[in-house]
Amino acid sequence: MNFETFLPFTVDPMTASVIAFIGVFGAIISAMLLMQGNSSKDIEDRLDVLAGKKRAKSDGPQVTRDALVKEGMEGISGAANRFMERFLNIRLLFVQADVRMKPEVFLMIVLACGGIGLGAGYLSRIPLPTYPLVFLVSAMLPFGWLLFKRSRRFKKFSKQLPDAMELVARALRSGHSLSAAMKVVVDELPDPISKEFNIAYEEQNLGVPVEESLAHLYIRVPNMDYKFFAMAVSIQRQSGGDLAEILDKIGRIIRDRFRILGQVQALTGEGRISGIVLMALPIALFFAVWKLNPEYVMLLFTDELGRKMVAVAVVLQILGAVVIKKIISIKV
């Protein structure tokens, strides 16, 4: 049966795919907002109280319109929190990146970036089938910014770690306790290591064991070199030993590893630049040809064989990126 005979207008397949994408995305957001903790019976009781059919319970919270509006806004905020927590631990990412932002605000920024990307694509008159891809790429920009801040903070922490090990070792040799030695790191070194050690120091003052506070710091900053420090502290507290000497060796090993890593980065620089060029060349060539001859490029989206070729090209592009990453990534 040909359904086009029942329609007063014809729908382009690509337009239908874009509409279907927007519809599915909207359905997911709507389902997320509707999945609240209140049952239908509770909602009916509250509506009856507002209509004057029932009396509010004396031992329960008073039902008012202002309270319902406030609860509704908090329900949307809670739904956004549950949505972000379900798909990724966004709160941990905020802590690791040292970003003070609510998950619902971040979700609104993600949706706004996606909308801005769609608007820019519409103004630049890009091919219609690329609209979902533009939306996804634009919506992922806030996540990229968050991961960039997280990675930069981790790198700064790792560079400060040898100095922190030396400060702790010197403080231990001078007769200070481990807690006092961590306070020296807080006072002498800048962020982010001073902030993280300060959190661990305050946890110890509140009665948290040293091993547990150091484990919490590792969750916030999953650095392998710091893990050696936490393990050394744990072993020393159980079996004894010269912790200052161990920390000196850990700091020396970290410095040597950074030196070797710098040499590796210099030797693999040509491979990294080649990988970037090879990954960007097909995308740049696509837009260049589309600017010169749009009808020629649109065959990749209107023809069945063209769509298969685009899918294969995307898969091969991803595989190439993974292979190049494996070649140039040398663990030290």
Burial 246-275 (b: 16+ CB within 10 A, else e): bbbebbeebeeeeeeeeeeeeeeeeeeeeb
Closest CA to 164 of 181, 177, 151: 181
71 versus 303: which is more confidently predicted? Answer: 303
Supply the pLDDT for residue 9. 47
Whose structure tokens read 């014809």?
A: 10
Read off the pLDDT of residues 184-241 as tens digits, 9 standing for 90 and up: 999 999 989 999 999 999 998 888 888 899 999 999 999 888 998 888 888 888 887 7
pLDDT value for 30? 58
Question: In the predicted model, what is the mean pLDDT of residues 252-262?
Answer: 87
268 pLDDT exceeds 90?
Answer: no
Residue 189 sits at φ, ψ, to 5 deg, of: -105, 150
The CATH number corresponding to 156-252 among 1.20.81, 1.10.3470, 1.20.1280, 3.40.50 equals 1.20.81
pLDDT computed for residue 37 by the predictor: 44
Best-predicted range by mean pLDDT (115-129, 169-183, 255-269)? 169-183
Going by pLDDT thresholds of 50, 70 and 90, the confidence category of residue 294 is confident
Q: Residue 316: what residue type?
A: L
Residue 332: per-residue pLDDT = 64
Asked whether the predicted pLDDT for residue 252 surpasses 50, the reply is yes
Helix (H, G, I), strand (E, B) or coil at 125: coil
Four-CA torsion 160, 163, 169, 175, nearest 10 degrees: -100
Query: Can you tell me the mean pLDDT for 58-64?
Result: 48
Contact 305, 135 (CB under 8 A): no
- Assess whether pLDDT exceeds 90 at residue 149: yes
pTM of the model: 0.65
- DSSP string for 22-69: HHHHHHHHHHHHH--S--HHHHHHHHHHHHTSSPPPTTS----HHHHH
Q: According to the model, what pLDDT value does residue 243 have? A: 85
Round to whole Å and give the CA distance between 316 and 322: 10
pLDDT of residue 217: 92
- Give the mean model confidence (pLDDT) for residues 17-44: 55
Predicted confidence at residue 135, as pLDDT, reads 87
Higher-confidence residue: 189 or 20? 189
pLDDT of res. 36: 46
Residue 146 · residue 96 · CB < 8 Å: no
Given a cut of 50, whether residue 183 has pLDDT beyond it is yes
The pLDDT score that the predictor gives to residue 7 is 46
Mean pLDDT within 284-300: 85
